[in-house]
Amino acid sequence: MTQTIQRKLNDSAFVRWSALILISLMMFFAYMFVDMLSPLKEQLETALNWDSSTFGTYAASEYFLNVFCLFLIFAGIILDKMGIRFTGLLSASLMVIGAGIKFYAMSDMFIGTGLETWLSSWWVALPGTAKLSCLGFMIFGCGCEMAGTTVSKAIAKWFKGKEMAMAMGLEMSIARLGVFAAMWLSPLVYDIFGKYVAAPVAFGAILLTIGLLFYFIFVVMDRQLDKQLEIAGELTKESSNDEEFKFSDLGKIFSSKMFWLVAMLCVLYYSAIFPFQRYAPDFLNQTLGIDNGAQLFSCFPILAMVLTPFLGAFIDRVGKAASILMVGSLIMIACHLSFAYLLPMYPSKILAVAIIAILGVSFSLVPAALWPSVPKIIDERILGSAYCVIFWIQNWGLLLVPVIIGKVLDATGGYTLPMVIFSSFGVIALFIGFMLKHEDKKKGYGLELPNIKKAE
């Protein structure tokens, strides 16, 4: 009996990695849905009369409720008070609902109706299809960002004292494979269903529903783990009544200098990655004079997918997370400057793929080091709220940058200035990385130390 109690579900490598796969697949479908329309920017202009500013507004809408309605702040409170099971199911359900609304907005069921006419009659710069699509994407975005923080906390729980960075790296790798899948499958589904722009959105909504079912399975496993923790007397802080989350605990997050350094590095770095993904297929089409930029860009997450788990394993065993953050930012600067000046001078597919692949290396380095560092600077009891606040700050950048890039594109008609803007984010992120490493050295948070504790 003692043996049974001592060996919990997450002590089994097979079980804890199986749990990881289940929640990672949910994020894979989420990432895939985010970029379902990225390869179809030109087709949206033809079919739905969306210009670059409209596309930028649509891309930004994913983050609107998270930012201006503070949904991510509330999501963190929900996560810390209700736990990963309830919050995960809620977030997956919101993604499915938002995807359904977005599909309806772009389908023949909506186009030509009285509702579309009414929506198109005000704020005429944005078509009715775009307005309703934005609403659906807002709801999806609430679920997607909530899911991201929930998954991070779930991994921290299941892999505490084990291969946490490697597990987070593998989850990110699987999720990023969704970008690769979207770049290839979205145009394919579009063609199969008679060049119908709503078809890829419907396909993504179905996959999100499957992701919701996968999370149900994880919930059953996590409930069993909690029973074992209770029997063994090893309740986590999040489930202990005397350590219950309090609203005043948010002050501990906002008063932490390390937290702000991590959050600012996060918003700057990701503002140069995710908005770029939305425009990358169109950028490659225009710069190289091709029509398959999406497929060319699909190699971006491949190196990230392959390298991130190994980088996570390296950080688990060796450390150096703060140094890796700086190297990743430096690589990103070089890549965006190459997109701005080098690729237009030498428009070669081989050169484009090389730059994209190197950018993928950067996208391995920074997240692999960033997310496992948060539990080192924030109390586990308020970890969910900390992740959500970081995501909220990040969402400000993800909301504003696509709009800015869309307007710059309409004003200049070219991608040189947008790429310079992206690279400037990397310069500031690199400077913050220096500050982060200095503060860690001074205060001893252990960002440069390995995650796996060696037996004494």
pTM of the model: 0.77
Domain parsing of the chain, residue ranges: 13-443
- Per-residue HEC secondary structure of the chain comes to CHHHHHCCHHHCHHHHHHHHHHHHHHHHHHHHHHCCCHHHHHHHHHHHCCCHHHHHHHHHHCCHHHHHCCHHHHHHHHHHHHHHHHHHHHHHHHHHHHHHHHHHHHCCCCCCCHHHHHHHCCCCCCCHHHHHHHHHHHHHHHHHHHHHHHHHHHHHHHCCCCCHHHHHHHHHHHHHHHHHHHHHHHHHHHHHCCCCCHHHHHHHHHHHHHHHHHHHHHHHHHHHHHHHHHHCCCCCHHHCHHHCCCHHHHHHHHCCHHHHHHHHHHHHHHHCCHHHHHHHHHHHHHHHCCCCHHHHHCCHHHHHHHHHHHHHHHHHHCCCHHHHHHHHHHHHHHHHHHHHHHHHHCCCHHHHHHHHHHHHHHHHHHHHHHHHHHHHHCCHHHHHHHHHHHHHHHHHHHHHHHHHHHHHHHHHCCCHHHHHHHHHHHHHHHHHHHHHHHHHHHHCCCCCCCCCCCCC
Residue 446 and residue 321: Cα distance in Å, rounded?
9
pLDDT at 456 (0 to 100): 42
Find, among 78, 80, 73, 72, the residue nearest to 244 by Cα: 80
Q: How far is CA 70 from the centre of its chain?
A: 18
Phi and psi for 161 in degrees, rounded to 5? 75, 5
What pLDDT does residue 288 have?
93
Residue 233's CB is within 10 A of a number of other CB atoms, namely: 7
- What digits encode the pLDDT tens for the residues 23-55? 999 999 999 999 899 888 888 888 888 888 898
Contact criterion met (CB below 8 Å) for 136 and 99:
yes
φ, ψ of residue 451 to 5 degrees: the values are: -85, -35
What kind of architecture, by CATH, is found in domain 13-443? Up-down Bundle (1.20)
Which residues in the chain show pLDDT less than 70? 1-6, 233-250, 451-456
Query: Which pLDDT score, from 0 to 100, does residue 133 have?
Result: 94
Q: What is the pLDDT of residue 27?
A: 95
Alpha-carbon gap, residue 364 to 300, rounded angstroms: 11
